[in-house]
């Protein structure tokens, strides 16, 4: 992130971006974390690949994809996050920032904004209801609502090409994002949470219908796979159902066939 240090420090000092300061401090400035992230994503992303980062937030995954040599389309609906992404990558011709949410169809959607913790802003009212009063979510408040544009994965593919990998992290709106995809891809991931457990099985059903057959899981922010081998959807769904509430969140990784290396 060498060339970004000064930009990030300026962004952290900007009062208009105070809600993002915690994310900028957590996700930047740790070389060991960046190295672990790069090693993890290298199994999905190779130099020259196209990657879609759906729910790019402040761009830490985007940074990893670029270090791995990928061309990246970063999709993010929150104006302060878009401001950060553009400040960091406006000079990078291999990064395209799309200011929109991703969903079932093009149009508009209401985004529930958590001003103090924008990383959990969401287009899913159900997610907000599920998190209310849940353990580990105490004090989280969705205190504003904005209308944002929506696009779909299919439209992004039509505009930019077929990605080698898609990362989807949109706080309970993952099923809507996947509903806007009509083809199998080389690999994708979607976030799950234990406050909205019914969502992951729906997402697994969707990607299975698209032709994905093997799945694995990363818990929390860990840069490693939790399962010793890639499993069918039913076994991964059972694993997710059995997780304790305290596991909180993670990502499901989806591929069409058994990878050469796990």
Task: Give one DSSP letter per residue of 118-151, joined into a string.
Answer: GGG-BS-HHHHHHHTT-TT-TT----EEEEEEEE
Which of 8-12, 54-58, 182-186 has the lowest average pLDDT?
8-12
d(CA 111, CA 239): 31
For residue 251, give the H/E element and its range: strand 249-255
Q: Is the pLDDT of residue 262 over 50?
A: no
Average model confidence (pLDDT) for the chain? 94
30-255: CATH superfamily: Vaccinia Virus protein VP39 (3.40.50.150)
pLDDT tens figures, 85-128: 999 999 999 999 999 999 999 999 999 999 999 999 999 999 99
Q: Is the pLDDT of residue 260 over 60?
A: no
pLDDT tens figures, 128-137: 999 988 998 9
Portion of the chain with pLDDT greater than 90, in percent: 86
Predicted TM-score (pTM) of the model is 0.94
Residue boundaries of the structural domains of the chain: 30-255
């Amino acid at each position: 992130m060498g060339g970004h240090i000064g930009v990030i420090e300026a962004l952290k000092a900007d009062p208009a971006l105070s809600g993002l300061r915690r994310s900028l401090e957590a996700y930047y400035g740790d070389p060991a974390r960046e190295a672990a992230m790069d090693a993890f994503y290298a199994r999905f992303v190779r130099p020259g690949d196209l990657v879609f980062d759906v729910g790019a937030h402040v761009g830490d995954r985007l940074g990893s994809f670029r270090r791995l040599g990928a061309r990246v389309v970063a999709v993010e609906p929150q104006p302060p996050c878009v401001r950060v992404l553009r400040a960091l990558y406006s000079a990078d011709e291999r990064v395209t920032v799309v200011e929109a949410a991703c969903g079932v169809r093009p149009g508009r959607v209401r985004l529930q904004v958590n001003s103090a913790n924008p990383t959990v802003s969401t287009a899913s009212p159900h997610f907000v209801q599920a998190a209310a009063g849940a353990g580990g979510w105490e004090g989280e408040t969705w205190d504003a609502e904005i209308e944002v544009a929506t696009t779909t994965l299919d439209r992004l593919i039509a505009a930019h090409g077929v990605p080698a990998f898609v990362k989807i992290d949109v706080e309970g709106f993952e099923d809507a994002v996947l509903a806007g995809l009509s083809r199998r891809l080389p690999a994708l991931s979607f976030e799950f949470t234990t406050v909205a457990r019914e969502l992951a099985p729906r997402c697994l059903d969707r990607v299975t219908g698209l032709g994905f057959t093997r799945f694995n899981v990363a818990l929390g922010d860990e840069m490693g796979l939790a399962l010793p081998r890639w499993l069918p959807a039913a076994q991964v769904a059972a694993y997710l159902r059995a997780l304790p509430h305290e596991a909180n969140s993670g990502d499901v990784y989806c591929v069409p066939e058994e990878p050469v290396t796990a």
